[in-house]
Amino acid sequence: MIGWTIAALLAGVGFALYSYLAKILTYWTKRKVPGPKPSLLTGNFGINLMGQKSIGDICDQVYNDYHEEPVAGTFVMTQPLLHVHDPEIIKHVLIKDFKDFFGRGIYVETERDPLTAHLFNLSGKRWKELRAKIAPTFTSRKIKYMFDTMKECCTQLQDFVEAKCAANGGKYNADIREMQARVSTDVISSVAFGIQSNSLKTPESEFRRISTKVVEPTVCNSVRLMVLFFLREIAQKFKFSLTVNEIETFFTKLVAETVAYREENGIERADMLQMLMELKNKGFLKNKKGEEPEQAPEDGQVNGKLTMNEMVAQVYIFFIAGFDTTSATTSLTMYELTKNPDIQEKVYQEVQDVLKRHNGEVSYDAIAEMSYLDKVVSETLRMYPPLPFLNREVMVSREIPLTKVHVEKGTRVIIPVRALHHDAKYWPNPEKYDPERFSEENKASRPSHVYLPFGEGPRVCVAQRLGLMQVKTSVAMLLSRFRLEPSADTPEQVEFAPRSFVPLPKKDLMMTLVTRQTIAA
């Protein structure tokens, strides 16, 4: 008898839970928004947790299946997610109605998880204030200051490859993704902290170990990312800490020690840390002439000083946002140049011509003059955008622009960047690598908001100029000394690790670098 009662109770609880979940999962059908059928417990993103597809892959699939629809709806567990497909609606979300869509919807926990309180994650007033303070760190003038440091790391790369070639008959067979990840780690540690991480020459360096750990495509990192991006409520309820202790300790100690050393010894350097120190001590950045803020404060808060924790969080995002995006873009550009020797030759000729005009000197202005290189890098960012989607949060309950779909405050919004970049409607023959897509004429013939590698609107990547300059400098300096050739192991097509967020090839990305003297001989 007791057995029957327990069974009946369990069946009742099961049925109640089923009914509850099934009701929540009618969110989109009630609003007449099409989308794939969700599973009861995992929604539409369970295959990400199983390691079969990345979050970006799932967003691509939703776009491919529903690209005729202006919007589509999915669920992360029971959390509704709106995918915006129509470029006009995208424009409203990112720019025209930005004030209603400017949240990230990401988990931030200032006290328990201080590294989460950085510019990328923040929403609301805190984001607005911080963005106003940090944006002047990345003006062209500041990037020009950082250029020499960046160039120094690329010179070390040239010397490193030269030495390898010299020891091997003028050729070096390299995993270009790993090599660029090490160089980017060197660049970001120099321009962010003024520290030479020596990751290129010493792969076991502390910086490289940490940078690998941050982006490793493991099950833990994959779950962490999913919770961070879409399941903030669960993380807050169960008081999760999403930053690995070792990483938090590394950055906190690094910043505290470097700041103390510089302050005690009166050291000033042209790097990001210096600018963050100014924001910590004064609350604004000096301009060329003296002490005035570079941009007028909007209210009393904008001139408020950064706390030490806020400073560490910003250094952390500069580090992770800076090294993986640029190393992915540089290595995939080199991969495409290997596969497309005509395009490679054209870039090389341009690099030669421009450097001749600049007395052989690689400078900020010389790189900025390389217009074909700019098209090439733009095409890499189209084919392989480091961030496969943009995310926003609805800040007030309202209708989605240009639709009758009403959504509640807090609803997460996805802009499927990579899928838009591969839509044949906007990019004929989308799998072909063709830099001419970025000629002035072709750019003018495309609708706006179908090319978004850096995002768009007031939340656009704050360091877009720096990222582009780094990729172009690296490619130009390598091509000036070496030709890229396929090796026996160069893949026909790159396959990416499904647990990785930024495109990370499943296998080593092998190619051969040949010194130009060897070619001439």
Output the known binding site for heme: 461
Could you give the CA distance from residue 387 to residue 426 in angstroms, rounded to a whole number?
19
Q: Exposure string (b/e) for 26-57, b if CB count within 10 Å is 16 or more?
A: ebbeebebebbebeeebbbbbbbbeeebbbbb
Segment near ligand HEM (CB under 6 A), from 196-204, 286-294, 296-304, 325-333?
A: 325-333
Q: Return the residues of window 83-122 that contact ligand HEM according to CB under 6 A.
A: 119-120
Shortest spacing between CB 203 and ligand HEM, in angstroms: 21
Q: Which residue's structure tokens are 């999915």? A: 74
488 class by beta-carbon count within 10 Å (0-12 exposed, 13-18 middle, 19+ buried) = exposed
Shortest spacing between CB 359 and ligand HEM, in angstroms: 29
Identify residue 246 by its one-letter amino acid code.
Answer: E
Please count the residues of this chain forming the interface with ligand HEM, following the rule CB under 6 A.
26
Shortest spacing between CB 381 and ligand HEM, in angstroms: 6
**Which residue, 25 or 97, is less far from ligand HEM as judged by CB?**
97
Helix/strand/coil for 315? helix
Segment near ligand HEM (CB under 6 A), from 171-179, 318-326, 477-485, 490-498?
A: 318-326
Binder of ligand HEM out of 27, 28, 45, 318 (CB under 6 A): 318
Q: Which residue's structure tokens are 């000083």? A: 305
Q: Which residue's structure tokens are 């179908």? A: 450
Segment near ligand HEM (CB under 6 A), from 6-14, 212-220, 296-304, 314-322?
A: 314-322
DSSP states of 239-298? T---S-HHHHHHHHHHHHHHHHHHHHHT---SSHHHHHHHHHHTSS---SSSSS-SS--S
- Do residues 427 and 452 touch, judged by C-beta distance below 8 A? no
Segment near ligand HEM (CB under 6 A), from 277-285, 316-324, 437-445, 487-495?
A: 316-324
Q: Is 471 in the site for ligand HEM (CB under 6 A)?
A: yes
Residue nearest to ligand HEM (CB): 455
Instruction: Please report, in range form, the residues annotated as the binding site.
Output: 461
Binding mask 384-403 for ligand HEM (x = CB under 6 A): --xx--x-------------
- Do residues 59 and 418 touch, judged by C-beta distance below 8 A? yes
Q: Is 474 in the site for ligand HEM (CB under 6 A)?
A: no
Shortest spacing between CB 146 and ligand HEM, in angstroms: 10
Segment near ligand HEM (CB under 6 A), from 158-166, 174-182, 215-223, 317-325?
A: 317-325
The residue ranges of DSSP E strands in 135-226, in sequence order, are: 171-175
**DSSP 8-state assignment for residue 512:** E
Q: Is 479 in the site for ligand HEM (CB under 6 A)?
A: no
List residues near ligand HEM by CB under 6 A.
Answer: 119-120, 131, 317-318, 321-322, 325-326, 329, 381, 386-387, 390, 453-456, 459-463, 466-467, 471
